[in-house]
């Protein structure tokens, strides 16, 4: 099975074709197509590592939805001091459907006369 490691929002994700993943918020409309930087791609037996060596590879995905994760509560307390602090946080995300993992088509530099 083919897979790739992509970078989105400063994080790395292992993806395969047909997978739905949640990445940090992307400024793209729902239904639009986006491309991600490929750091590694392989097919199980072989792998090409490095952004410069995998420069020809591309991962295209379709934006499904934008949303927010469940709230995470941050609670701080110091015993015997009467200090309590509660802070909540919800992370924004974009759900994307991985459409294809593939090589970018190379345009030959040959002249035709």
Average pLDDT over residues 10-29: 95
Residue at token pair 């991962």: 59
Nearest-5° Cα angle at 49, 46 to 55: 110
- In the predicted structure, residue 91 carries a pLDDT above the cut 80: yes
Entry field: residues in the chain: 113
Average pLDDT over residues 23-42: 92
Average pLDDT over residues 78-103: 94
100: tokens are 């294809």
78: tokens are 């110091």
% of the chain exceeding 90 in pLDDT: 64
- Nearest-CA neighbor of 22 among 72, 68, 73, 88? 68
Average pLDDT over residues 20-41: 93
82: tokens are 């009467």
**Buried-exposed string 60-89: b where 16+ CB fall within 10 A, e elsewhere:** ebbbeeeeeeeeeeeeeeeeeeeeeeeeee
Q: How far is CA 53 from the centre of its chain?
A: 19
Sorting pLDDT into bands at 50, 70 and 90, what band is 1?
Answer: low
Looking at residue 85, its pLDDT comes to 97
CA atoms of 72 and 55, how far apart (whole Å): 37
Q: Mean pLDDT across the chain, nearest whole number?
A: 87
């Amino acid at each position: 099975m083919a897979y790739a490691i992509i970078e989105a929002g400063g994080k790395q994700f292992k993806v395969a074709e047909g997978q739905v993943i949640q990445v940090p918020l992307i400024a793209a409309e729902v239904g639009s197509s986006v491309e991600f930087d490929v750091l590694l791609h392989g097919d199980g037996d072989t792998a090409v590592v490095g952004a410069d060596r995998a420069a020809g590879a591309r991962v295209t995905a379709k934006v499904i939805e934008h949303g927010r994760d469940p709230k995470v509560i941050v609670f701080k307390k110091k015993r015997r001091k009467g200090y309590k602090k509660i802070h909540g946080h919800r992370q924004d995300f974009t759900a994307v459907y991985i459409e294809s993992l593939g090589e970018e088509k190379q345009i030959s530099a040959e002249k035709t006369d």
